[in-house]
Amino acid sequence: MVDGGADGAVDGVVDGVVTGGPAAPRPVALDVDTGVDDALALLFAVASPLVDLRLVTCVGGNADLDAVTANTTAVLAVAGSDVPVHRGHAHPLSGPRPPAEAWHGVDGLMGCRPEVAARPVRPEHAVEALAGLAVALADAGDPLTLVPLGPQTTVAAMLTGDPAAAGRLRLVHLMGGSGVGGNVTAAAEFNVHHDPEAAAAVVSSGVPVAMYGLEVFEHVRLPRADIDALRAEQHPALRLAGELCHASAARSGTDDACLGDAGAVVALVRPDLVRTEVRDVAVETGDGPARGATVVDRRRGGRDRLWHGHPVTVHEEIDGPAVAAVWLATLRDHYHSASTGGGAAPPVHFT
């Protein structure tokens, strides 16, 4: 792992292997269940010169789909982005499940949703929008990277419902899973546990998959001094980031804030800051205490012919402080420039 600045990216994952060299902005679609850390990821994706954000789709998870959609459009409005937003699936493939109110509050943003004018959402369902974009970009020679940051319900529907379009994707880079135990249960991470059938469909789809899971998730943290500095910023996107981190730290009872999903997007464009390995992975979809577990085979000696896992690029280690520094520098560079170039940002209040 190599340190670097906000713009020092390397190319990424090719056939499951991290490669080096300067990176051009890659076309990306984010599939979000916008809670606190999804919002931090959206702010980074809009700001990063290494992300060409083409589409955002919404899925029920951290909050219900209506709240997720409202959160997503509000965050993008504060970020100054007009990227298209589409609604996806409200419930997992196996039926409704409760949202993560204990972690993200009733509204999904711990009471920090910006009070901004409502943005329209595109009428086309997220599955059709993702499939159309995947084909169009592949035809143009610059395939789409799909980044699910919530339950993989909508993504699974796209991959299984339109295999031809799915085959045109460059990569599915998902936040979810764990080979080291769970958070929502002893065995399972929240996104996968919320819809194990969907996660299993993604892992077994044949599309290149990278998994940014609990092995690295908690290691990307923003110190208190940076949180306080963000809360004092003038640009509403920076203040929003500070308020979200402050709320996250208060909820966790810590003096720093886990950047969560935001780290997954930074890792996508800065793979020099992570160590990955190709592992066979399977998702437990049966009932019982292991439901939603992602079984990661770290044994030596080759693949087990009696076990039906699928090759996935698993994030094993991360330079957490460097990833947090890239996230923070990218936000400051972009939103300070936006304020300078376009005059003072309008005042924004938080609910």
- pLDDT (tens digit per residue) in 221-267: 999 999 999 999 999 999 999 999 999 999 999 999 999 999 999 99
Rounded CA separation 173/211 (Å): 6
Written as one letter, the residue type at 35 is G
Place 299 in a pLDDT band, splitting at 50, 70 and 90.
Answer: confident
Q: Does 194 have pLDDT greater than 90?
A: yes
- If you average pLDDT over residues 140-166, what whole number do you get? 97
Which pLDDT band, with edges at 50, 70 and 90, does 115 fall under?
Answer: confident
b or e along 55-83 (b: 16 or more beta carbons within 10 Å of the residue's beta carbon)? bbbbbbbbbbbebbbbbbbbbbbbbbbeb
CB atoms within 10 A of CB 154: 28
Give every CB contact of residue 286 below 8 A, 6+ residues apart in sequence. Answer: none
Closest to 266 measured CA to CA, from 41, 30, 33: 41
Domains of the chain, with CATH numbers? 12-299+306-350 (3.90.245.10)
Coil, strand or helix: which one is 221? strand
Sequence-ordered list of residues with C-beta below 8 angstroms from that of 40, at least 6 positions apart, any chain = 241, 244, 245, 259, 260, 261, 262, 327
Residue 8: pLDDT above 90?
no
